[in-house]
Amino acid sequence: MLIGGVAVIARGVARVTTDVDATVRAEGLALDELSRILARHQIVGRIPDLLEFAHAHQVLLLRHEPTRTPIEVSLAWLPFEEEALARAEPLDLGAGPVPVAVAEDLIVYKAVAWRDRDRTDVERLLVQHGDEIDLARVRRIVRDFADALGAPERVGELEAVIRRARPPTGGVP
Strands 43-45 and 59-64: antiparallel
DSSP label of 1 = -
pLDDT tens for the 173 residues of the chain, in order: 999 999 999 999 999 999 999 999 999 999 999 999 999 999 999 999 999 999 999 999 999 999 999 999 999 999 999 999 999 999 998 889 999 999 999 999 999 999 999 999 999 999 999 899 999 999 999 999 999 999 999 999 999 999 999 877 755 55
Amino acid sitting at position 33: E
CA distance 88 to 86: 6
Q: Which residues pair with 99 in a beta bridge?
A: 90
Structure confidence at residue 95 (pLDDT):
84
Predicted pLDDT of residue 55: 94
For residue 172, the model assigns a pLDDT of: 52
Type of residue numbered 118:
D
Phi-psi region of 117 (alpha: psi -120 to 50; beta: other; left: phi over 0): alpha
pLDDT value, residue 129: 96
Pick from 26, 131, 35, 25: nearest CA to 85: 25
Distance from C-alpha of 13 to C-alpha of 142, rounded to nearest angstrom: 21
Q: Are 21 and 3 in contact (CB under 8 A)?
A: yes
